[in-house]
Amino acid sequence: MESQNIKDNDDFDDDDNDDDYYDGQENFINAINKLRMFFLDRKPHIRKYRKIRDLHGEIVNTMIQYHSNGKFKKQIDTGFISEQEDEITLNILKCDFNLESRLGAQAFYDMLIYKTAANMACITDDFIRNHRYRKPEKMEFLHSMLDSKLGLFEVTGTDDDEGYAYLRDVFTGAEYAIVDIGLSGNQNHDEIYIYTRIITYQDISFGTGLSFIFRKTDRFIKNHIQQHKKDFKPNGEFLRFTQLYNYYSQDPGKIKVVTNEL
């Protein structure tokens, strides 16, 4: 399997380049974001965020190469999730991780790099166990990656001037203030749910780039929330991940929000 060189997880090519409307919208939003970035870059927390994102990109690229070299084997303790094993297996079989697409590559490597479930090994585990880095900063960051939060969030507010988006976990109510230049400038944030992974390192929280966007009016996401709120399992994120990915990746009308592109 060929590795994908990425500076951060937002640099994959999109697989819907024939959508002229979206391309025009994305170019306009990026232009506005670049203007905002000119002013935001002067702020200390944005400069710190930039350095952390560079560190994240460097480590992720190394992990992708590590997998491509055959040094990591995915292991799952199925006994840990026996009551959900059949449904999880079915959803995995439905997954089509097209590594040539941004969405497919992000989802595939998220499963390998991060701790998607307590019973699943991940590359971050390997790097920590094998003391991959000598620099304390990188080892500390690996633990932040291991402790990252994957979930479905409601965007409760944004701060355009500071580059923050405020998220609340739909199931647990946990709240986060993440640095996200694109999302913080989105005027329709109250109309969507976003499924993403959040890393917090040295008081800076940010999304890794994995983003499934759902309209709040979408019948599927309404049913998904209702179903899992009835019997929420903290250790059931892998099942929720595969359910949401399978729906979102196959939805021809899926919406896209420009997040940390800059």
Q: How confident is the model over 185-223, as pLDDT tens digits?
A: 888 889 999 999 999 999 999 999 899 999 999 999 999
More confident residue, 21 or 60: 60
On the question of pLDDT at 256 being above 60, the answer is yes
d(CA 209, CA 205): 12
Contacts of 14 (CB under 8 A, 6+ apart): 101, 102, 256
H or E element at residue 29:
helix 20-40
Q: Report the pLDDT value the prediction gives residue 94, as an integer from 0 to 100.
A: 62
Q: How confident is the model over 170-185, as pLDDT tens digits?
A: 999 999 999 998 888 8
Percent of the residues in the chain that have a pLDDT greater than 70, as a whole number = 78
Average pLDDT over residues 48-54: 96
Q: How confident is the model over 64-108, as pLDDT tens digits?
A: 999 999 999 876 655 555 455 555 555 555 667 888 888 999 999
Residue with tokens 């969405």: 103
d(CA 37, CA 248): 30
pTM of the model: 0.81
- The confidence band for 154, taking pLDDT boundaries of 50, 70 and 90, is very high
Contacts of 5 (CB under 8 A, 6+ apart): 61, 64
Alpha-carbon torsion 231, 214, 34, 23, what sign? positive
> Burial letters for 203-235: b for 16+ Cβ neighbours within 10 Å, e otherwise?
ebbbbbbbbbbbbeebeebeebbeebeeeeeee
Alpha-carbon torsion 22, 182, 5, 238, what sign? negative
Q: For the chain, what are the domain ranges?
A: 20-250
Average pLDDT over residues 144-169: 96
With CA atoms as reference, report the closest residue to 238 among 103, 65, 121. 121
Q: Provide the greatest CA pair distance for the chain.
A: 52
d(CA 121, CA 118): 8
Average pLDDT over residues 221-241: 91
